[in-house]
Amino acid sequence: MSGTAFIVDDDEAIRDALTWLFKSRQVACRAWPSAESFLADWKESMRGCLVLDVRMDDMSGPELFELLAERGSQLPVIFLSGHGDIPLAVAAVKKGAYDFVEKPFNDNELVDRVIQALSYDASLHERQRGQATLASRLAQITPREREVMERILDGKYNKVIADELNIAMRTVEVHRARIFEKMGVKSAVELAQLLSSLK
Amino acid sequence: MSGTAFIVDDDEAIRDALTWLFKSRQVACRAWPSAESFLADWKESMRGCLVLDVRMDDMSGPELFELLAERGSQLPVIFLSGHGDIPLAVAAVKKGAYDFVEKPFNDNELVDRVIQALSYDASLHERQRGQATLASRLAQITPREREVMERILDGKYNKVIADELNIAMRTVEVHRARIFEKMGVKSAVELAQLLSSLK
DNA sequence: GCGGCAATTGTGGTTATCCGCAACACTGCT
DNA sequence: AGCAGTGTTGCGGATAACCACAATTGCCGC
């Protein structure tokens, strides 16, 4: 399996039990005793899923979840809750939590869901790679080229673009060619499709 | 408010209470005593939201929810549950339920959520209208034109398309022009953007 | 100041697209 | 048989896109 299960729970007994459980199923994992300590170690590049206790001292699970979301984390989160709070569970899932499991939980079921989440994160990672290369290509586009590009995507003729920007048609052609080159496409249609996946 | 709250509950007292509650807040509503009876009346064109009891005889709320989804309903669904079943709630929300409310519920809170759902459905309807006109335009495209269109969207030259389909370039040009006319665009770029919103 | 980069423009020629006009074959329906 | 719709093709010309070669201007950093 590609990712790691990140366990955050203030109960050492639970951390140990989960650690043992995951190891026994060949799922890599690592545990933290508090939301704050995990947040300190968190990095954008972490791949896997978060197994997060709802009720903890200081910062709660949902609070950590929101903080991570603000910082751009897309790590799938599985909440562990010990007190049947439906509004909390519904709110968490509506905000994008991957799953919500009641304690006491069935061991096998939990591991299965974690593995699902790891797989989900892996596919998410694939998508992000595509977006990243697209973004790096977009970053090479100069401001002037961007102006031309927008108009190309409106389906405007080079002549019209030239008029709007008060430049010669030849210049537009050059920009156009550079844009295609930098974006790795060879027609306006491909460019449109490439960018439509982002918007 | 544009839509109607569709109440499905086998408890007459609840149906009456909800009906009275919604009327008092100027929310149009209508009630059914069972999933089957609602299903019999359901039509694609119904706009509003579904307020659905989880536990009912014969067909349960979640079962009705899934059936409706299979039939293409996108009606937002608010579940009413009387027995704190977290896995059920989480499963429902993950499957796209709009909300999940525990009984006994706070009257104002429920109405607020219903109004939210009605508003959501209205915006959903807007989006669907765009998709509908697009679909009706696509329906006018003949099979042969569709073959040409796919290749246009691959950014291929008319000449290449002609070779692939073993027809003259002129024919491709004619198809191309018809496609643009029927789809209401005037360039391949616009066509690509129009269709990318669908895929 | 020199090199690099972005932006600009020109010339001239090749290739593609876009269109009006005209025509023919095939299918299905009346 | 006649009509409508679809698919097909040709001719010729107008318009636009694409491209290699060549060159100028202005800004920024070393």
Does B87 reach chain A within 8 Å, measured CB to CB? yes
- What mean pLDDT is predicted for residues A167-180? 94
The class of domain B4-128 in CATH terms is alpha beta
Residue type, B19: T
pLDDT of B21 over the 70 cut: yes
| C-alpha angle B67-B73-B78 in degrees, rounded to nearest 5 | 80
- What mean pLDDT is predicted for residues A96-101? 94
Give me the architecture of the A140-196 domain, per CATH.
Orthogonal Bundle (1.10)
- What mean pLDDT is predicted for residues B59-84? 93
* Angular region, B155: left φ>0, alpha ψ -120 to 50, beta rest: left
Going by pLDDT thresholds of 50, 70 and 90, the confidence category of residue A109 is very high
- What mean pLDDT is predicted for residues A139-153? 93
Where does chain B hold its CATH 3.40.50.2300 domain(s)? 4-128
ipTM score of complex? 0.78
Among candidate residues B31, B85, B91, the one with its CA nearest the CA of residue B65: B91
Where does chain B hold its CATH 1.10.10.10 domain(s)? 141-196
Where does chain A hold its CATH 1.10.10.10 domain(s)? 140-196
3-state SS, residue B52: strand
**Nearest CB to A196 within list B87, B90, B196:** B196
- Are A84 and B81 an interchain contact pair (Cβ–Cβ within 8 Å)? no
* Digit-coded pLDDT (tens) for A12-49: 999 999 999 999 999 999 999 999 999 999 999 999 99
Supply the pLDDT for residue B61: 94
Supply the pLDDT for residue A1: 66
Q: What is the CATH number of domain B141-196?
A: 1.10.10.10
Going by pLDDT thresholds of 50, 70 and 90, the confidence category of residue A196 is confident
pLDDT of A180 over the 70 cut: yes
- What mean pLDDT is predicted for residues B131-140? 89
- What token pair was written down for B120? 């959501």
- Are A190 and B155 an interchain contact pair (Cβ–Cβ within 8 Å)? yes
Residue type, B153: L
pLDDT of A167 over the 90 cut: yes
Does A100 reach chain B within 8 Å, measured CB to CB? yes
Supply the pLDDT for residue B6: 97
pLDDT of B192 over the 70 cut: yes
Distance from CA of A167 to the nearest CA of B (A): 23
* Digit-coded pLDDT (tens) for B1-18: 689 999 999 999 999 999
HEC string of chain A? CCCEEEEECCCHHHHHHHHHHHHHCCCCEEEECCHHHHHHHCCCCCCEEEEEECCCCCCCHHHHHHHHHHCCCCCCEEEEECCCCHHHHHHHHHCCCCEEEECCCCHHHHHHHHHHHHHHHHHHHHHHHHHHHHHHHHHCCCHHHHHHHHHHHCCCCHHHHHHHHCCCHHHHHHHHHHHHHHHCCCCHHHHHHHHHCCC
Supply the pLDDT for residue A84: 72
